[in-house]
Structure 1
């Protein structure tokens, strides 16, 4: 399916109104929501968490009703966003996503994440039947909050990361098979240009995948240089550059959800052990489907759902190795920007070394 590029507005920098935040937990164990890593094109940070009156004011403004009552608002654990789950008097639940806290430093590719998630979710609702949150409101200036925010519906389910240890082999295979079919639906969507979503939808993307991918790679290397992170810069540039001609085999830009299949972003029904939803669509680009989350380490059941298992030889192998090196570099650099995020830097460095060594032998 082919999608025409859409125009995406760029909003001015704004800050969130100050206020205290406190509440008791809302969610029953069967409710989860979108808490993936993300940010905003229009604001690097919030000055403070929104207070309860601000959240209620925003919700009343969105639904244009002063009679709507917010019973509780809970701050959810997220890697980068400030994410809140609000419970209304009628029992419905809403997710409010705001930019990171003021002291969180962003990588170059993270600065448009909030806007990317909004655009991606709207696209998925229009062109697919995937179980993803519905965008209720995106405000680039923040209104009562004073900072950009994204309001979404809440999907029931528990994170796969919380349930993985208790799943049987059969249950996990069924989940993987479903995830494979979901990734197939995601990568079926195409656009007219390659690159980051905010650029593609603003008709400022790249004409080739090689140009788009090398730009992504150079951006994360510059992030590393900014923080004096020790990585093999010359080797990364040389061996990926040496194999970059393989990227020219990708001629159709496809939707690539980098965090698809991340256990933190997959919601599961506790009783049926079936996938109830996918969240975390802030890290999305248009490029090679082989770069999609789930492809590099997918199980047999996953590839059954996907409909094919790419043979890891020649061009396919080289591209997967380049994407592995890129992902590993992002993890290493992100660890130095946000050392308390729980990233395993040693594992990332091992993955980078193995990928570069294999590329050197091609």
Structure 2
């Protein structure tokens, strides 16, 4: 049985904007970003994201997005602790990488397929300002130019099958474009650990880069997995912790075949995070054909990781359209393809545990359904792991048995010679 928890509805009564947001201080900050413009209307946006989002309208009708760190009342998982700085670092990293590519051509220390990343920079929101601490305002914050479109979750039921397939294919293309980037330090792990903070001046940045992240993917993934398991234990969530840990210990050596720390976003395929928009037809009306819908980017880029691209949730299940986009995005860079299925089992286990534990940290009205779905996936995945393990055990037993027979035969021959 699950431990008791109470579902809470989404926020309905918002705190007065004048108390929730230091508008006067914000105006001063924006005056340095846009000297010739002034701040106009400010509106809090309803969002499923952890960060608090505000829409800012400048005097020239320019739209901006202010992203505040979650309030202290929001319970974060361990891998979510640095979401605001992680998003800012990743947005800056991709933008600067694109700028260097434009000025210098394809970088020698990146995969050659990075030249085929297309309009990736157009999918990443332009970061205008980021403050990693609470010195300027009550919380750390970022100011972006907004990503176009609406969350896929709000329009998914209205999309035709060809439209949905097109979006899934574009997600696969975006995942492949991201995977063209590798960790600048050569280490594995979350973006927040790998990338230096470009907004904090440090004389030892280059030295620190040399030691950022884990030396192996198995070590980095173990940190992610152990983190979510401890989150579950902290909330007394009923889960087969020892079984999960034993399966990881038994199968973790398959992760050591991943030697290239590629960039991925954990929730790149989440309908609540994917932003889409429809173009206009020749008459200026919203297009209804598949050609009229497009991927506009992600609402949040805070779940970046340098590791095995297969950890991204867009590879959870058999989405042929996503795989088609991945293949078209460049040459296959998945390492040790023969054992990739074993790694996928570990990743499916991780995602299932995340989905279950999240409902205990931030329960909603439909948490029971989400939790049940996560538990079903976890049960199925663990069963597949056991089958794989039994196959290995049987092989080892046969090998040992054969070895014992050979030894016994040799012993008999030796005794006969005597």
Structure-2 change in CA distance of 1:144 and 1:209 (3 Å)? closer
Structure-2 change in CA distance of 1:273 and 1:233 (3 Å)? same
- Aligned partner of residue 145 in structure 1, secondary structure: coil
Partner residue of 1:300?
320
- Aligned partner of residue 241 in structure 1, secondary structure: helix
Q: Does 1:197 align with 2:191?
A: yes
Partner residue of 2:59?
89
Q: Does 1:149 align with 2:126?
A: no
Q: Does 1:57 align with 2:28?
A: yes
Partner residue of 1:174?
166
Partner residue of 2:377?
351
- Aligned partner of residue 290 in structure 1, secondary structure: helix
Q: After superposition, what is the alpha-carbon deviation per residue over 1:229-284, rounded to whole angstroms, capped at 9, x for unaligned?
A: 11100110011211111101101101120011221222222332122223311011
Structure-2 change in CA distance of 1:64 and 1:156 (3 Å)? same
TM-score by length of structure 1 reads 0.82
1:274-293 aligned within 5 A: 274-293=294-313
> 153, 164, 188: which is aligned to 1:161?
153
> 249, 264, 268: which is aligned to 1:256?
264
Asked whether the equivalents of residues 79 and 341 of structure 1 are also in contact (C-alpha less than 8 Å), the reply is no
Runs of 4+ in structure 1 off by over 6 angstroms are 308-313
Residues in 1 aligned to 2:360 and 2:313: alpha-carbon distance in whole angstroms: 23
Residues in 1 aligned to 2:373 and 2:336: alpha-carbon distance in whole angstroms: 22
Asked whether the equivalents of residues 335 and 341 of structure 1 are also in contact (C-alpha less than 8 Å), the reply is no
Q: After superposition, what is the alpha-carbon deviation per residue over 1:135-192, rounded to whole angstroms, capped at 9, x for unaligned?
A: 1001122454232101111122122111111111111222122111111101111110
Partner residue of 1:43?
none
Structure-2 change in CA distance of 1:183 and 1:298 (3 Å)? farther
Residues in 2 aligned to 1:291 and 1:221: alpha-carbon distance in whole angstroms: 17
Asked whether the equivalents of residues 49 and 300 of structure 2 are also in contact (C-alpha less than 8 Å), the reply is no
Residues in 1 aligned to 2:336 and 2:317: alpha-carbon distance in whole angstroms: 12
> 209, 226, 251: which is aligned to 1:243?
251
Residues in 2 aligned to 1:166 and 1:54: alpha-carbon distance in whole angstroms: 42
> 203, 215, 220: which is aligned to 2:228?
220
Moved more, 84-93 or 270-279: 270-279
Asked whether the equivalents of residues 20 and 51 of structure 1 are also in contact (C-alpha less than 8 Å), the reply is no
Unaligned runs of 5+ in 2: 1-14, 99-118, 197-210, 279-285, 287-291, 389-418
Moved more, 243-252 or 52-61: 52-61
Partner residue of 2:71?
101
Partner residue of 2:87?
117
Q: Does 1:327 align with 2:341?
A: no
> 21, 34, 43: which is aligned to 1:73?
43
Give the greater-gyration-radius structure (CA). 2
Between the two proteins, the alignment pairs up a number of residues equal to: 318
Q: Does 1:21 align with 2:17?
A: yes
Partner residue of 2:101?
none
Q: Note the C-alpha offset of 1:335.
A: 1.2
Structure-2 change in CA distance of 1:123 and 1:298 (3 Å)? farther
Structure-2 change in CA distance of 1:61 and 1:126 (3 Å)? closer
Structure-2 change in CA distance of 1:114 and 1:298 (3 Å)? farther
Residues in 2 aligned to 1:215 and 1:193: alpha-carbon distance in whole angstroms: 13
- Aligned partner of residue 275 in structure 1, secondary structure: strand
- Aligned partner of residue 307 in structure 1, secondary structure: helix
Q: After superposition, what is the alpha-carbon deviation per residue over 1:186-216, rounded to whole angstroms, capped at 9, x for unaligned?
A: 1111110001112222533111001111111
Residues in 1 aligned to 2:67 and 2:142: alpha-carbon distance in whole angstroms: 5
Residues in 1 aligned to 2:254 and 2:141: alpha-carbon distance in whole angstroms: 39
